[in-house]
Structure formats: structure tokens, C-alpha cells
Amino acid sequence: MPALERHHLAVVSGPGLGWVVPLGAEQATVGRAEHVDLSVPDPLLSREHLGARDRGGRVRVRDLGSANGTVLRAARRSSHGSAESAGSTGSTRLARKRRLGHRWQSAPVGSLVISGSTVLQVRAHPALRDLPEPEQPVSDGLLGRLLLPVLISLTMIPLLLSGGGGGWRILLMLAMPLAIVGAVLWPVLRERARRRLRRPGPDPVPPPRVTFADPAEALAWPGAAPGPDEQGWELGNADERAPRPTRPGRVLSPRHLRLAEALRHCQPPAAGEGIALVGEPAAVRGLGRWVVARTAATRACAVLAPEDWGWAAPLAERTPDGDPSLRVHDLTSTEPSPTYDPDAAHLVLAARVADVPPWCTTVIAVRPVHDRLVSEQWAEEFVTALAAHRPDAGRLPAQIHLGALLGPAEHTQLLDIWSQNLPGLPGIVGAGQQGPVELDLAQDGPHALVAGTTGSGKSELLVAWILAIAHARSPQDVSFVLIDYKGGATFGPLWTLRHVVGLVTDLDAAATARALASLRAELHHRERLLAAVGANDLTGYERLRPDGSEALGRLVVVVDEFRAMADAHPDQLDALVRLAAQGRSLGIHLVLATQRPGGAITADMRANLTTRLCLRVLEESDAQDAIGESTPARLPRIPGRAVLRTEGRQVLQAAWCGPAQTGWLTERISQLNAAADALEQRQPWRRARRSPWAPPLPERCTPAELAGHAGSAPAGARFPMPIARTDVPEEQRLGTWYWPGGTLLVSGPAGTGRTTVLQTVVEASLRVGTATHVIAEGAGSWDSASAPAAGTWCDPEDVRRVRRMLVGLGRGEGPALLAIDDIDTVLAALEETGAPGEGAELLGNLLRRSRRIGLDLLLTAPAPAHRWAGVVDRHLVLCPRDQADAVMAGVPRELVGTGWPPGRGVLVERGGAVTMQIAVTEPDAGAWGHPPSPPWRIRPLPDMVALPSGPDQGEHDAADHSLILGRGGDDAGLLRLHPRPGQTWLVAGPPGSGRTTTVLTLITQLRALGWQIAGEPRTVSQPMATTTATDGVGAAVVIDDADRLTSGRLPDGADDPQTLLIAATRPDGALTAAHPLGARLREADVTIALAGVPLGHLPPALLRPHQEPESPPGRAVLLHRGRATPLQVAMVAAAGPGESEDGVGVARAGGGSQ
């Protein structure tokens, strides 16, 4: 309400109780709409119901055309000469009801305006109530009152003179002078009556005024000072026993009035006592708001209201001297049971008497409708107005800059303080009502808990506290390890501070486990140092340690969002418990910050967290967990406002370092670092500062760099070249790893360095001269493929060689290494051309027998590789990104990191797990070793083999009567066979597989060896062969498309058992018993199976290991004497249609030649 408005309208009953609207010269509108001057939530009111104004000190009201109308009961003067407000004890007489219209009607002070279910009263401002009402002089309006009768008289004179005489004319002439005299005398007589009423009576003393008599008066003048007798609670007519008028304006009898006044007030509870208000929830809460608001205005105690009473939060930070706090318990809502505090007074709101706790000394039954039922909006408005009109002189500032508390960072001053090596860890954390607040973590701690919800200023407090400690102690006297579970947002600016030796964020979860493991190692290290000199604590160690020995400074571990860290690493809490228990004597201190300490801070840790700072929290339970009281749940929404509890308790405003854009924090860190450099130059011994953990793993390293750190390889190492750099936080160092052999699985997503690991291990094997076989994409083009110890190097798509290699290595041909890149792709290719599960069976056999046959296996696979993790000796998990998959692979949860570079992983073995960075190596031909014997190599078959042009050229020798079939076998050499009379040679293959080409190759060489060729009718002439002494070796019959042969057209000599029969057929040919040559072809002496398709009369397992899914023409499997050999058939030079190079015709079963 604006100051010094003389009159106002106050809601004294109905909805909106306690609201007021000041009255001025302009009309003030009352209604239900939101845009009016006084909005009342009364459904019986119109949107704009009535208007009121104050002109010349007189209040006038009118109806604005409302639907339900407006009634005025004008106030009459009391026995003391003035109309009093409803909150006064004086009697006010009201006139009869009068319905208002559109015209303005006078409403003296004390008048009631009834609109719908809302009753408003015209009141004077409490501060101006003793001023006299403005008086109207007698002469006011006299001219107007005389002018009307005079004009009437002048108008009637012509009428009287124009007519005849009559009695009415005489009466009218007499009445006009009397009217004129009455108009003049009436104001004079009325003024004399007013003066007589203002004359003091026998008891001129006015009744005593009660400040904040009702809600409307309290809101109208919140700045009023309470009187000396106003420490009681004013309840109005809320007590069910209190009598009240039957309708507005009625006056109680003297007996009822005395009873109402007696029940209007009650004595407030003392410390440890309580008063319970029982009734309907809305009525009880409304009265409770009034009691709290009036208590805030009349007393200086702190009010601890429920958490859903947000409007009362500013009342919780009061710190009165000797006045107990008032704790409010709202049992009508969600509060389960009130918490008893013997040092506080209690106000309990309950719906039933059964809910009242036994420690309440007074129970008051509240009637459902009373004149103190204020709304939550009214209470919030009142508290806001109270703070504006009566500001607290000792109020804490809303912000306090750390620079204002520390002062400038004078270079010489810092050097003087740091050089003294003073004990303790003092640091300014903020400002209280008595000035700066300093905490000494060594004396008040040794550990601290900082709690506060989001936006409460918790992170700013931590940064300011760290910087304040750095001001007081040098980097050698105190070091900070910062664990930031906000992604580095809190402590990122402090990373350049010389006092900070480590920063860990939740972006790399494994870094947290590494830090805690290193801290455990640091704890053991300090224990050993103290035990060596016989000291009990850090102070005793500094006194007893010999000159030149290691100096120990204090180490402060600060964790922001400790609950998030505890949830991510529950197994590490025991380490923190031990740190908390032994930290004081060893100089290690913990500062744990969290939003909700409940559940995260264990009982053992809580016993050592003796310093506690609690900023604003959302729930009372969080405040109770933090400092043992609920005050922080009711702190105002001011960032940095906190409650500090050490041996005592105080409310303070935490310091902060200002906005980042000002650059103050960066500049102050630079000043502290410059002072640290100057101190080290003055005292060189300070440069040898020990870090609590080893440096981080490099993002890239080479075997040469690793060998420089490790020296010689450990005894018994299978591969003496170092493979990786390991992290050993338990010993605060980095190590080097050598692969001892066996079976190793490397898994990880794409781009994490799986192939790099394989190449590094392969290079280590080649350098010791171990036979090394590789299955990897493009392996044949690697530089290492030419190493002396390089065995078979092939692509996964070369299924024939892969299958042959897995089968051959299973027989155990000596010590060797088999490296398979992307084992799942290799197995998929094997099973595509073989039987289901064949590839897994082959590899499983190698894994089971590897140790016995001296075979080392290195497998790589995409993550997750659960299929293989259980059957290998060691599993290297590269860059684990999914925590669940990594844990299933055996990686400890605390070692699962994020944002790792390629080659970073966790090696899981039976002895534990270790984080490592794989070395990147280049092939070094000068370092390759030579194996005792050449390694086994399965060479690839060429796509085409040309037949030598003559019997005396190349590797062909006509004297041995053999045929060159092509190149085949493991070494891809020439394959020869001796044709013999009576043999059956079967060439089977689908169209386009080179079946006819194979037949031409055989015919060409047989003719050259002197064999007589016979067949179906020929379409070309066949010259006679030139024979020598070896002529007459035998006769041969060649049949193409033998599967279409019928018995009636059998070539001559085809059924002769001494004839060499060469038949070409499709793989699905009908070589059945009904076929003329079926029995002979099914039992062929030599079978050449072309392409990677099965033959109907042969078992698939016989051919499959040597077939390829996509083969060039002429690729075949040679079956001879029960042995299968892969073969690329030789071909003759191109010839004309129907003839070979030497003109030999090829008979077809259907006639014609090719």
C-alpha cells in the first residue's frame, strides 16, 4: 500500500480476507477481474463490481452495474466522536442497508460495503488515524442552498399575481420565506450539533490501539513498530469458543464482548512447548499463516516453516539473541510426523486431535470460517512488504567477492607468509554478521562436507575456498587433488594453479579409480615415512625428519558431486573411509560436496566430517543429514547463503570469484603462480615436490621408448620386445608389458587399434624368428610379409588357404604364432562354404591344443567378444564404450574409461586387470630373426597356368610319360600324373568352369606322348601322329558331356577295360547304375572336380576343404589315390573351333567336336 494514503478499502470478511486497496482522487475498482485495482476471488462479484474514491478527505462509493448489486451500511459516529476500524474496540453504529446505484454515495470511515459474499470496510490509514477528519465550513455550499428556493419564489410570483385569491396562494406565499430561512439555518444548526458531539465526555481517554489488529491493518501498515504488550498470538474469532456477531455490523453484548476479547489472544509457547491448531485443513492453515506473519512482525525469532511454505523461507535465516525459533509442523498435508526440537517453540497444524503430538501443551479448536483465514498470496505479500518497510540492519549481503575479503595479492606479502611454513590450513569461506568467516581445515576438520542444491552456489564456494587456502599456504605446504563430476565445469579454471597436482572429471570414469588407487598408495607411503622417524602425525614428522629427507605437505582432496562419484564407483567408498579415518595424522584432508548427502555419506565418513557447510537444499531431510537441522531448507534463494556448523553455528554468505568474463580468477591465479616461482628461486629445495600419482599414460608410444623405460626384458619372456605401457596406480608408477605367449584376444570398436595391436605383436614374433602366420585383410601386401619367419599370410576371403592353415597348424608343426584379424569375419567366410559350425570347431580345436602343440594365438574381434573371452588366457579390451559389455568381458567397472585414444585398453587376465597403451611399431628388417627351418607357407594358386609349348620346354619331360595337370598343393608347384591304360579320368564341373579346357589340356599332352585318341564321329580330319620307339603306349577315348551319353551311341572302345577313358560331365550328371558308364565313372582313378560345387557321388567333406566359393575357370580339386589336392588346371594356347592346338578333335556325346 502506498505510504500516507489517508483512506483505503479493506476486505474484512469473505474471500480475499486481509487485502486492501488505497483510495485516491481517481476511482479504485473492485471486482473479480484481474485488471481491477482490488481483485477478489468471489464468484458472486462481477468483473468490475464497485468503485470508490477519496476526494477532499471524504470517501464515496458507487455500484458499477453489477449483477448482484452492492449494499452500503454507512457508519455513524461513535461515543468518542469518530468511526473506528474493525480492529478497534470502540463501538461503531451502522445505518440501515442502502442499495447503491450508479451515483456516488458518501461512506464515512467504518462503513461496510457488502458485495456478494465479500464484506469491505472503509478505513483510515493506521498511521494517520489520530488526525482529525477534515471539517467543512458552514459557508460551504450556502450559495447553492439559497439559490434554489429564491429561483422557485421568483418563478411563483407571476403566477400568484395573475390569478384570483385562494387559500393555497396564501400558504405558498408563507412557505417560500420559511424555506429560504430553513436553507440558511440548517447548516448552522448541524455544525453546532457536531461541536457538541466532539466535546469530551466524562472518560476522554480513547481505547488502546492494538498494532496489527487484523490482516487488513497488518497489510496496510507493515512498517508499524509493535507495542510492548504485543508478544501474544492474536487469533481473532478463530477459536470455536469465541462468540461473534450473527451478521456484519452487529455489536456483541458486553458479556460476550469480554469473552471474545479473552479468547482473541493466547500466550505463545516457550522453548520446548507447542500449540496445536485443530480443525478443517483450509481454516487451520489460514490461521497458521496469520500467526506466522504476525509473529514475524512482532518478534525477531527465526521461523522454520514446512518446505512447501516457500513464502516463509526468508524468515528462517534470522539469528535472534535468546529468542527461541518457531518451528511450524503442517500435519494436514504430507508431513508424516513432527520432529521435536527442545530448543524451539512449536506450532502444530492438524486436522484431528489424534494427530497432535503429546508434547503440545495447548490445543485450540479452529472454526471452519473465521476472520483470520488469510491466503498464501496474502502471506507472501505481507512478508515482502514487511522486509521492505522494516529492513534488518544486520542482514547479510546478497553477494561477497573473495577479492574484497582477501585484499590484493601482494607479491612480497605472499612470499613472507609462505616462507614461514605456518601450520594449519586456514581459508576464508565467506562473511557473517560479525565479518569474514575463516575455516582452518586442519583444526576444525580434518574433513568437510559441503551440501547444497543446484543453483545454491556450491561450486563457487569450493573454488573460492581453494583459492583462499592457496593464498595462505605455498604449493609445497598444500596440494589439491580435484575430482570434478560436472565434466570439469567447476574446477577447470583452477587447473593452472600451481597448488593443483591433479584434476579428474567424470568424462573419464577410469581416471577416478586411478586417482583413488593412487591416493591409497600415497596413504601407505606417508605411513612408511612417519613410521621411519617414529612420528605420530605430520607435525611430528616435520620436526623429527632428518635434513635432506622428503618433505610432506598437506594434501586436500576436493570432490564436487560426491554422490555421483559414489554411485559410479561404490566399491571405492572403503578407500575414502580409510582416508577419512587416517587423514588427520597423515595430512590428507577430504572436502566432499554433494546435493544430497543422504545415502552417499556413510556413518563412518560422517563421524570424521566435523566441518559442515550447508547451502540451500530442497528438503528438510537433506538439511538434517548435512548439519542436523532443517534451517538450510528454508534459506532464501540467494546463491551462497549457507549455514556453517563446526563447534558452533552461524549463517554466512559464501564468497565467490565473480563472473568469468571479468578475468579476476585468472589474474589472481597468475599472481599466485608468479609468487610460487619466486619462492622456488629463493628456496630451491621446494622444487622437488612429489606428485601423489604417476604421470598419465601417453597417447602414443613406440617399443623403443618402452625399452628405454623398462631396460632389459624380464626372464623367460617369450617375446622380448615390449608391447605396451601399463599404468600401475597402486605403486604410483608406469610399467612395461611383454606378452608371455599363449592365447590373447583383442576386442574393441572400429578405429580403436585392433589391427595395430596385431601388427605390434607380429613384429615382436618376427624379431625372435618365430614362425608367424597371419590372416588379415591385405596381409600379403604388408612389409612384414617378406620377413624370414613369415609363414602363410592371407586374406580372410581366401577360404581355401585359411581352412588349410587351421587344419595344418592343428597337427602341431613346431612353435608358431597365428594372428587372426577380425575372427568373426573369418569364421563367417568358413561357414559360408563349409558345414555349419566348421570354422568354430577348427578354431576351438586350436585354442584347446595350443599350449600342447606350442602354438600362440592372437585373435581380434569387434566388441563385444563374449564368444571368445572365456576361452583365452588374456583379453585386451580396447577403448570400452559400453560399460555393461566391458563388465561382462571381465573389465572392472572402475577401469572403464571414456575418451581414450586408439590403442588404450584394459588387459584382463587371471591375475587381475591393468590399463595399458599399446605401442605402435614399424617393420624393421634389420631386427628380424631367422627361424631354425623355413616356416610352412601355403602359397596362393595362380588364376591361370599356361601349358608349356613343347615336351622339351620348361619343367616338362616327355621321357617320364606324365601329364602336366597344372599348379597345385601348398607350394603351388606343377602337378603331374602318369596316364595308364584301363584308367578312368573324370573331369566334372558346371558350364564355364573350364571343363572343356581341361579335356583339351589332357588330349594335347596325350597326343604328344603317342596315345591313340578315339571318340565320337569327328567333323575335322585328324592327322596321323608321328611315332617313335615309344609309340603305341595305348589308346584313349575322350567323351565330353558324358552325362548325356546313351547306350546306343557309345563311342568305339569306350567299354574296353584296357582303354584310357577321359569323360567330362556336369557335377549333377546322372552317373547312376542306368548310365552306360555310370559304374566306371563313379569309381574313377583320377577325378578333377572343377569350381567350388559338390559332386553328387562324392562326400562333400572330401572336397570342401580345398574348394573356393568364387574361383576362376580351371580351379579344381584333384582326387587321386584318396588324396585331395587343390589345382589350377593348365591350359593350351587358343585354338580354332572344334580343335586343339595340334588339331586333335574332341568327341561330344551328342555329336560334333570342340
* pLDDT tens per residue across span 765-816: 999 999 999 999 999 899 999 999 999 999 998 888 998 899 888 887 778 9
CATH for the 719-927 domain, from 1.10.443.10, 3.20.20.20, 3.40.50.300, 3.30.70.120: 3.40.50.300
Q: State the pLDDT at residue 1009.
A: 85
pLDDT reading at 1151 higher than 90: no
Average pLDDT over residues 1015-1026: 34
DSSP classification of residue 117: T
Identity of the highest mean pLDDT range in 63-67, 227-231, 419-423, 624-628:
63-67
Taking CA atoms, 575 is separated from 447, 480, 566, 581, in Å, by 15, 18, 11, 10
Quick check: 1153 and 1139 in contact, CB under 8 A? Answer: yes
Q: State the pLDDT at residue 284.
A: 94
In whole angstroms, what separates CA 257 from the centre of its chain? 65
Quick check: 726 and 839 in contact, CB under 8 A? Answer: no
pLDDT reading at 176 higher than 80: no
Q: State the pLDDT at residue 208.
A: 53
pLDDT reading at 928 higher than 90: yes
Residue 1102 DSSP SS3:
helix
**Residue 574 pLDDT level (bands cut at 50, 70, 90):** confident
Q: State the pLDDT at residue 885.
A: 80
Quick check: 569 and 512 in contact, CB under 8 A? Answer: yes
Domain 7-128's class? Answer: mainly beta
Q: State the pLDDT at residue 765.
A: 93
Q: What share of the chain is helix, strand, coil (3-state, %, to 5)?
A: 30, 20, 45
What is the residue-wise DSSP string for 752-807? Answer: SSHHHHHHHHHHHHHHTT-EEEEE-TTGGGSGGGGSTTEEEEE-TT-HHHHHHHHH
Q: For the CA atoms of 367, 369, 373, 376, what is the dihedral angle to 10 degrees?
A: 110
Q: State the pLDDT at residue 1071.
A: 61
**Residue 367 pLDDT level (bands cut at 50, 70, 90):** very high
Q: State the pLDDT at residue 81.
A: 41
pLDDT reading at 957 higher than 80: no
pLDDT reading at 967 higher than 90: yes
User: Which residues fall within 8 angstroms of residue 1066, CB to CB, at 6 or more apart?
Assistant: 988, 989, 990, 991, 1041, 1043
Q: How do 70-73 and 98-99 pair as beta strands?
A: antiparallel
Q: State the pLDDT at residue 226.
A: 67
As a whole number of Å, the CA-based R_g of the chain is 54
Looking at every residue in the chain, the average pLDDT score rounds to 81
- Give residue 929's identity as a one-letter amino acid code: G
Q: Is 219 exposed, middle or buried (0-12, 13-18, 19+ CB in 10 A)?
A: buried
Which CATH architecture is the domain 945-1131 placed in? 3-Layer(aba) Sandwich (3.40)
Q: Which of 171-175, 451-455, 475-479, 680-684 has the lowest mean pLDDT?
A: 171-175
- C-alpha cell at position 305: 516453516
Nearest to 1026 by CA among 1137, 1143, 946: 1143
Q: For the CA atoms of 263, 269, 270, 273, what is the dihedral angle to 10 degrees?
A: 130
- Binding site members for ATP: 452-459
Give the residue with greater pLDDT, 364 vs 542.
364
Place of cell 597448488: 499
**Residue 149 pLDDT level (bands cut at 50, 70, 90):** low
Q: State the pLDDT at residue 746.
A: 94
Fold identical between 7-128 and 411-687? Answer: no
Nearest to 302 by CA among 327, 325, 276, 274: 325
pLDDT reading at 1031 higher than 50: no
Of all residues in the chain, the percent with pLDDT exceeding 70 is 83
Q: State the pLDDT at residue 954.
A: 42
Nearest to 767 by CA among 722, 805, 709: 722
Quick check: 583 and 448 in contact, CB under 8 A? Answer: no
Quick check: 392 and 297 in contact, CB under 8 A? Answer: no
In whole angstroms, what separates CA 612 from the centre of its chain? 26
pLDDT reading at 202 higher than 70: no
Tens digit of each residue's pLDDT (9 = 90 or more) over 60-88: 999 999 999 999 999 875 544 444 444 44
Q: Whole-model pTM? A: 0.59
Which CATH architecture is the domain 411-687 placed in? 3-Layer(aba) Sandwich (3.40)
Q: State the pLDDT at residue 965.
A: 92
Give the residue with greater pLDDT, 127 vs 901.
901
Q: State the pLDDT at residue 566.
A: 78
Identity of the highest mean pLDDT range in 308-317, 751-760, 824-833:
751-760
**Residue 681 pLDDT level (bands cut at 50, 70, 90):** confident
Tens digit of each residue's pLDDT (9 = 90 or more) over 658-679: 888 888 999 999 999 999 999 8
Q: State the pLDDT at residue 82.
A: 43
Give the residue with greater pLDDT, 205 vs 405.
405
Q: How many Cβ atoms are within 10 Å of 202's Cβ, its own excluded?
A: 4
User: Which residues fall within 8 angstroms of residue 448, CB to CB, at 6 or more apart?
Assistant: 439, 441, 589, 590, 591, 592, 609, 611, 612, 613
Q: State the pLDDT at residue 704.
A: 85
pLDDT reading at 843 higher than 70: yes
- Binding site members: 452-459
Average pLDDT over residues 287-316: 84
Residue 1107 DSSP SS3:
coil
Q: State the pLDDT at residue 395.
A: 65
Give the number of residues written for the chain.
Answer: 1154
Average pLDDT over residues 733-750: 90
What are the domain boundaries of the chain? Answer: 7-128, 142-198, 222-389, 411-687, 719-927, 945-1131
User: Which residues fall within 8 angstroms of residue 659, CB to CB, at 6 or more apart?
Assistant: none
Buried b (16+ CB within 10 A) or exposed e, 127-143: eebeeeeeeeeeeeeee
Average pLDDT over residues 1020-1030: 31
**Residue 1069 pLDDT level (bands cut at 50, 70, 90):** low
Question: How many contiguous H segments (helices) and E segments (strands) does the chain have?
Answer: 27, 50
State whether the Cα torsion 73-75-76-80 is positive or negative.
Answer: positive
Q: State the pLDDT at residue 543.
A: 84
